[in-house]
Amino acid sequence: MQQGSWKPNRQSDLPLHLQIEQHIKERIASSEWPVGTRLPSQRSLAASFGVNRSTVVTALDELTAAGLLEGNRGGGTRVVSGTWGILAASKPPDWNAYVSASIHRPNLPAVQEINRAEFQPGIIRLGTGELSPELLPQAGMQRLLRTMAQHRAPDLGYGEPGGDPRLRELIAERLRALGITASPRSILIVSGALQALQLVSLGLMQPGSSVLLERPSYLYSVPVFQSAGMKLRGIPMDAEGIRDQMITSYARQSSGALLYTIPSFHNPTGILMSEERRNRLLDACSEVSLPVLEDDVYRELWLETPPPLPLKSLDKKGMVVYMGSLSKVVSPGLRIGWIAGPEPVIDRLADLKMQTDYGSSQLSQWAAREWLSSSMHEEHMDSLRDKLRARRDAAAAMLDKHFRDLAEWQLPQGGFYIWLKLHNAPAPRLLFETALKEGILLNPGHLYDPEAVDCLRLSYAYARMDELERGISRLAAIIRHLTTSDK
């Protein structure tokens, strides 16, 4: 549960413990803290409220005496009544039971903590998988939107099920440049790549089937397929990508229904799949009739040379469904991505999308269409690659200085990520919490592979250059301290 930012007023005549008591009563009365809610620890509440622990204890004792709370040594303090009259005839609904019985799985606890901590002031985000605000094309987008507003008002109604027709035409043109033949009819506009995954999980898969994927993989950190009743089966990687020779055996052993892959600048490892490996992957999938979901959202983020052509461009049998997005290269706030695939697939996913949100934002599609049809996108990408290359090289130099004896890593050729494998790793939870206390937010490796407890996903795309330097230096000192104190 979240505690919020409320603090008692020290200038008030009302004692602090009574202010805290009243605040908790209001949270209970408003059903923000329904019956069954477990309160944070006394120490945590004291830190949140900025008071002594004894002040919190006094307030909780009063609420317990009033019958609103109940405490025990094993289960902490919980809300047991949402009314001031304990003997009220009606009993409030147990919303916590509803929450726990939900079909859709919650995020991993560590992911929830990361999502909350990302917006704490002063935090250095060393693992965030998005562009820094200073790398987003703020000025260019502002000029574009101003020009658009002056010339023509946007369509404020609902759009076609497949998305804005002109935007789909533009994406089809861009895909043709990559060797992909996809008409606008076989392209669906989605609200980011994550929605594409959700639509695929609900619209194309059967409960109990298996999704094959690289191990580690971003997909382990979001319960999209698991919530829809599917299982994830990870296939090991090497320096060229997923080990293609293992695909057929994994597919046969686990009734594999789909292979999900990020071949270009993989998340979280940064690995770029070789052209030869891409061809062999398709051959292996063809042998067992295994469809492929290609996540290509990092393609444009090459730093020296463009990556090999997408799997979809090599696909002669209609096996590959292709995903792209503007979130990683232009703006995560636009929430614009796309899926390209066989028309029956696109029709099914478009129908399902209409059931869920009745189409992506017309305003966002309008902005994306104008952005891609101008020269601004290419200009932005040229500038962005230069800046990301400088950040990657700076991060690599900092790692070489501070982590040479602590970890091993490979320099990525594009994307956002450096995959650190620690030689003598502290316990993941201890490292995460210690770093967070020092103002550093990490993305532990076990989010992407349950066995990668000695790894970290380092991103050079979000933190400012000065923050990268401070963060990497401070993180090295933390790891040295924790590993030394363990001996």
SS3 for the chain, per residue?
CCCCCCCCCCCCCCCHHHHHHHHHHHHHHCCCCCCCCECCCHHHHHHHHCCCHHHHHHHHHHHHHCCCEEEECCCEEEECCCCCCCCCCCCCCCHHHHHHCCCCCCCCHHHHHHHHHCCCCCCEECCCCCCCHHHCCHHHHHHHHHHHHHHCCCCCCCCCCCCCHHHHHHHHHHHHCCCCCCCHHHEEEECCHHHHHHHHHHHCCCCCCEEEEEECCHHHHCCHHHHCCCEEEEEEEECCEECHHHHHHHHHHHCEEEEEECCCCCCCCCCCCCHHHHHHHHHHHHHCCCCEEEECCCHHHECCCCCCCCHHHHCCCCCEEEEEECCCCCCHHHCCEEEECCHHHHHHHHHHHHHHCCCCCHHHHHHHHHHHHCCHHHHHHHHHHHHHHHHHHHHHHHHHHHCCCCEECCCCCECCEEEEEECCCCCHHHHHHHHHHCCEECEEHHHCCCCCCCEEEEECCCCCHHHHHHHHHHHHHHHHHHHHHCC
Residue 440 belongs to domain with CATH number? 3.90.1150.10
Q: Which domain holds residue 46?
A: 16-100
Structure tokens at 233: 């089966």
The reply to whether 478 and 384 lie within a common domain is yes
CA–CA distances in Å: residue 481 to residues 421, 434, 478, 484, 485:
18, 10, 5, 5, 6
The reply to whether 74 and 177 lie within a common domain is no
The reply to whether 399 and 455 lie within a common domain is yes
Question: Is residue 15 reached through a cis peptide bond, with omega within 30 degrees of 0 on the bond before it?
Answer: no
Distance between terminal CA atoms of the chain?
36
The reply to whether 335 and 230 lie within a common domain is yes
Is 135:461 a contact under the CB 8 Å cutoff? yes
d(CA 338, CA 354): 15
The reply to whether 325 and 208 lie within a common domain is yes
Q: Long-range contacts: 282-288, Cβ < 8 Å, 24+?
A: 282/311, 282/314, 282/315, 282/319, 282/320, 283/244, 284/244, 284/245, 284/247, 284/248, 285/247, 285/251, 285/259, 285/319, 286/317, 286/319, 287/248, 288/247, 288/248, 288/251, 288/252, 288/256
The reply to whether 246 and 168 lie within a common domain is yes
The reply to whether 65 and 40 lie within a common domain is yes
Q: Residues 454, 301, 321, CA angle at the centre, nearest 5°?
A: 85
What are the residues whose beta carbons fall under 8 Å from the beta carbon of 31, sequence distance 6 or more?
82, 92, 95
Nearest to 206 by CA among 233, 230, 231: 230
At 300 the pLDDT is 98
The reply to whether 219 and 342 lie within a common domain is yes
Q: Answer whether residue 10 is part of any domain.
A: no
Neighbours of 481 (CB within 10 A): 12
d(CA 319, CA 285): 8
The reply to whether 214 and 337 lie within a common domain is yes
- Domain's final residue, options 373, 391, 412: 373
Q: Answer whether residue 251 is part of any domain.
A: yes
The reply to whether 238 and 253 lie within a common domain is yes
Q: Using the structure block, give the residue that is written with the tokens 């039971």.
A: 97
The reply to whether 220 and 157 lie within a common domain is yes
Q: Answer whether residue 9 is part of any domain.
A: no
Q: What are the pLDDT tens digits along the chain (487 aa)?
A: 565 678 999 888 888 999 999 899 888 877 788 888 888 888 889 888 999 999 999 999 989 888 889 886 556 888 887 654 443 445 567 777 777 777 788 888 888 889 988 988 899 999 999 999 999 999 999 988 888 777 776 777 888 999 999 999 999 999 999 999 999 999 999 999 999 999 999 999 998 999 999 999 999 999 999 999 999 999 999 999 999 999 999 999 887 789 999 999 999 999 999 999 999 999 999 999 999 999 999 999 999 999 999 999 999 999 999 999 999 999 999 999 999 999 999 999 999 999 999 989 998 999 999 999 999 999 999 999 999 999 999 999 999 999 999 999 999 999 999 999 999 999 999 999 999 999 999 999 999 999 999 999 999 999 999 999 999 999 999 999 999 865 5
Q: Answer whether residue 5 is part of any domain.
A: no
Is 127:443 a contact under the CB 8 Å cutoff? yes
At 86 the pLDDT is 43
- Domain's final residue, options 346, 373, 400: 373
Q: Answer whether residue 173 is part of any domain.
A: yes
- Domain's final residue, options 339, 355, 373: 373
Q: Residues 476, 478, 484, CA angle at the centre, nearest 5°?
A: 100
Sheet containing strand 443-444, strands side by side: 407-408, 417-422, 455-459, 443-444
pTM to 2 decimal places: 0.83
Residue 46 belongs to domain with CATH number? 1.10.10.10
d(CA 111, CA 446): 11
Q: Answer whether residue 78 is part of any domain.
A: yes
Q: Answer whether residue 2 is part of any domain.
A: no
Q: Answer whether residue 6 is part of any domain.
A: no
Residue 192 belongs to domain with CATH number? 3.40.640.10
At 244 the pLDDT is 96
At 84 the pLDDT is 47
Q: b or e along 168-181 (b: 16 or more beta carbons within 10 Å of the residue's beta carbon)?
A: bebbbebbeebebe
* Pairing outcome for strands 292-295 and 256-261: parallel
The reply to whether 402 and 464 lie within a common domain is yes
Is 282:314 a contact under the CB 8 Å cutoff? yes
Question: Is residue 207 reached through a cis peptide bond, with omega within 30 degrees of 0 on the bond before it?
Answer: no
Is 316:300 a contact under the CB 8 Å cutoff? no
> How many domains, in total, are found in the chain?
3
